[in-house]
Chains A and B, each alone.
Chain A
Amino acid sequence: MSDFFSIFLISMLAKNPLVFLFLGLCSFIGVTKKVSEAFSMSMAVIFVTFMAQQVTFFLHIPLVSIGVEFLRLLVFIMVIAALVQTVEIVMKKFLPVLHRAFGVYLPLITTNCLVLYVALEQVFRDYSYLQATAFGLGTGSGYLIMMVIMAGLRERFELSNIPPIMKGTAMILLIACLFSLIMQGTSGIGG
């Protein structure tokens, strides 16, 4: 069980997906204009990452047993695309409130590097079921933390006087750079 928490903490803080592994940077720049938007996007990502991780974990066992491991990448990306579509349809029918909150972000997640990274990396690292679950949840939470912090900071920047050449993307990258230093400082947590 201690394994569970240490993997969760490491993948959330020290190996933060956004500022340490550079996964999903497109959404980091595109969808952090408002805190509410960033929060919905992150919740959608956590949800899809968790679902995809669970499905691909069990799907990899038959892939190995019939010896077609080289199809792993193709199968995983297809499963993720299909899963996102299914989740969207089911959610639209049964949970319209949640669907409205996730809105346009759900289909975008198919091309988010984070989901495929979690699916592939749990296989590369030979994680057990519990470890893989912790890894998926931790990575998703790390994404949530950075997205919300960045969106909050960006709401403040709207009012401040930034030099023209630093406006927009350059400023976001500078902040990301500082947070990457902060996250490296947490590398002792979790053992």
Chain B
Amino acid sequence: MQTGKTLIVWDTFWGEVVERNWVLKLMIGMCPTLAVSTSVANCISMGAAATFALVCSSVLISALRKHIPDGVRIVLFIAIIASFVIMVEYFVHAYSLTLYEALGTFLALIVVNCILLGHAEAYAYKNSILATAVNAFGAGVGFTFALLCIGIPREILGNGTLAGFNIVWENFQPWLIFSSPTGGFLMLMFCVMIINYLAERKNKKMTSEKGPALRSSQAKQGGCHE
């Protein structure tokens, strides 16, 4: 019984991180993903900040779900999310000024990150507190994972370092394009291409006789429509 429960929790968590990754699969919450992913330190702090706000706000919304009236729920969600984001913002400001300046307005813009509102609306409003906490944590880790997918290559190629340590050979010329906004788009494009390739291969395996019927399912994703 105990192992079964653990397995379900792990499945929910892992599913959120990999299979339903909000950024890489659903293309939601890309604005901060691209803007702050110039270095690994920024990625991890942004991911941690968003995860904290996501877990706290989701748990609170889930706890209050029976008392929130349907008509004004979005406004209340935003108010709850904004309160936690203010906490995170002031914590980062007090903890490290360099980090606060590097993340800039994007720390405050977690409020309008579609992942938080989307998670509140789609999951937290309907499920129990424990399930929501696990799911929200998974979504947060998935967000951090997506940030790192883009951030690690960008820092190595654009700056020649990894998490602040010099790891390249001596006469390495940094590719400045990777630390500029262009590099963000380029790296995300490579990630999407790899995901498309894997999905394509899976489809081919599954429907070897049916042909490319499932192929178009990949192209339809994109955009958040709250």
- A interface, CB within 8 angstroms of B: 19-27, 29-31, 70-71, 73-74, 77-78, 81, 108, 110-113, 116-117, 120-121, 124, 164-170, 172-174, 176-177, 180-181, 184
Q: Compute how far the CA of A31 lies from the CA of B35 in the bound complex, rounded to whole angstroms.
A: 21
Q: Compute how far the CA of A177 lies from the CA of B154 in the bound complex, rounded to whole angstroms.
A: 14
Tell me if B50 counts as interface (CB < 8 A to partner A). no
> What 1/0 mask marks residues of chain B from 84 to 97 whose CB sits below 8 Å from any chain A CB?
01100110000000
Instruction: Tell me, rounded to whole Å, the shortest Cβ–Cβ distance linking B158 to chain A.
Output: 14
Of all chain B residues, the one with the shortest Cβ separation from A31 is: B223
Instruction: Bin the interface of chain B by size.
Output: 35 or more
Instruction: Tell me, rounded to whole Å, the shortest Cβ–Cβ distance linking A145 to chain B.
Output: 16
**Contacts A164-B215, A168-B218 known; A124 to B223 CB distance under 8 Å?**
no
Which secondary structure characterizes the binding site on chain B? helix
Instruction: Tell me, rounded to whole Å, the shortest Cβ–Cβ distance linking A34 to chain B.
Output: 14
Contact B108 A120 (CB under 8 A): yes
Tell me if B111 counts as interface (CB < 8 A to partner A). yes
Contact B196 A167 (CB under 8 A): yes
Tell me if B31 counts as interface (CB < 8 A to partner A). yes
Contact A26 B185 (CB under 8 A): no
Contact A169 B184 (CB under 8 A): no
Of all chain A residues, the one with the shortest Cβ separation from B29 is: A26
- Can you list 18 pairs linking A and B with CB atoms under 8 Å apart? A19-B185, A25-B30, A25-B31, A26-B30, A26-B31, A30-B222, A30-B223, A71-B86, A73-B108, A77-B112, A113-B113, A116-B109, A164-B215, A165-B196, A167-B196, A168-B221, A168-B222, A174-B185
**Contacts A21-B35, A113-B31, A113-B112 known; A29 to B223 CB distance under 8 Å?**
yes
Which residues from chain B contact A120 at a C-beta distance below 8 Å? 105, 108-109
Contact A117 B105 (CB under 8 A): yes
Q: A22-B181, A176-B185 are in contact. List 15 more A-B contacts (CB 8 A).
A: A22-B33, A22-B35, A22-B184, A26-B31, A26-B223, A30-B222, A74-B82, A77-B111, A111-B224, A116-B109, A165-B193, A166-B196, A169-B27, A170-B196, A184-B181
Which residues from chain A contact B117 at a C-beta distance below 8 Å? 111
Q: Compute how far the CA of A35 lies from the CA of B218 in the bound complex, rounded to whole angstroms.
A: 23
Q: Compute how far the CA of A112 lies from the CA of B223 in the bound complex, rounded to whole angstroms.
A: 11
Tell me if B192 counts as interface (CB < 8 A to partner A). yes
Tell me if B188 counts as interface (CB < 8 A to partner A). yes
> What 1/0 mask marks residues of chain B from 27 to 66 whose CB sits below 8 Å from any chain A CB?
1101111110000000000000000000000000000000
Contact A173 B189 (CB under 8 A): yes
Of all chain B residues, the one with the shortest Cβ separation from A24 is: B31
Contact A111 B181 (CB under 8 A): no
Contact B82 A174 (CB under 8 A): no
Contact A168 B28 (CB under 8 A): no
